[in-house]
Structure 1
Amino acid sequence: METRIERVVLETDRHRVVGDLTLPREGYRSRLSDYLNSGDMDFIPLVNAELTPLNGGSPETRTFIAVARTHVQLAFPFEAEA
């Protein structure tokens, strides 16, 4: 299966997480919304992630993080600021 990397933003009640998610290039689960709505996974694996506390703390970087799907309150593809 061919894959692609999509940079995504996930927010929980305490953190904003920006990281790279591996998705299929096309077909089943090729969109972020499809991936999040699949009921057979409990965690979202991200690489090259940056965690920023929503309370204003300092951001941290991680090479890998697994975010619990049930804790995600907001999710969208990352768009670099111009």
Structure 2
Amino acid sequence: MQLRRERVFVETESRRIVGTLQLPNEGYRSRTTDFLNANDRGFIALTDADVAPVHGGEATRHEFVAVSARHIVLLVELGTVEVLDDSSALSPKSWQTGSTPPPVPT
């Protein structure tokens, strides 16, 4: 599956956030509006985010923020950062091998 990293501007009642949202490149939930409307977790994950108060103040940089979808007042797409091919991820068989017991102390 290909994933698209989209730079977005999000505004809540108290914060303005510019961050990166990861979406499927095509198909189900590939549009930002579909992603928000079908969001059953209640939060959207943004990476590389700058968070600032709405009424002024200095922005802070965060590697990750979770934003409550129900508190979003405005979301604007700023542009696609990149499209990733997720096929290089580990297949389920590669990580479902049996566990290995710890070494016996000598």
Task: Decide whether the 8 Å contact of 2:39 with 2:69 is kept in 1.
Answer: no
- Higher-Rg structure is 2
Task: Tell me which residue corresponds to 1:54.
Answer: 54
Task: Decide whether the 8 Å contact of 1:49 with 1:65 is kept in 2.
Answer: yes
The residue identity in structure 2 corresponding to 1:26 is E
- TM-score (ref. length: structure 1): 0.91
What displacement does 1:44 show? 0.4
Unaligned runs of 5+ residues in structure 1 are none
2:24 is aligned with 1:30: no
The residue identity in structure 2 corresponding to 1:51 is V
Task: Tell me which residue corresponds to 1:75.
Answer: 75
The residue identity in structure 1 corresponding to 2:47 is V
The structure with the largest helix share of the pair is 2
Unaligned runs of 5+ residues in structure 2 are 80-106
Task: Decide whether the 8 Å contact of 2:7 with 2:20 is kept in 1.
Answer: yes
Task: Decide whether the 8 Å contact of 1:32 with 1:76 is kept in 2.
Answer: no
Task: Tell me which residue corresponds to 2:21.
Answer: 21
**Number of positions where the alignment pairs a residue of Structure 1 with one of Structure 2:** 79
- 1-side partners of 2:61 and 2:49: how far apart? 6
> 4+ runs of 1 displaced by more than 3 Å?
none
Of the structure 1 ranges 22-31 and 32-41, higher mean CA displacement relative to structure 2 is found in 32-41
What displacement does 1:41 show? 2.2
- 1-side partners of 2:68 and 2:78: how far apart? 19
Match of 1:6, SS? strand
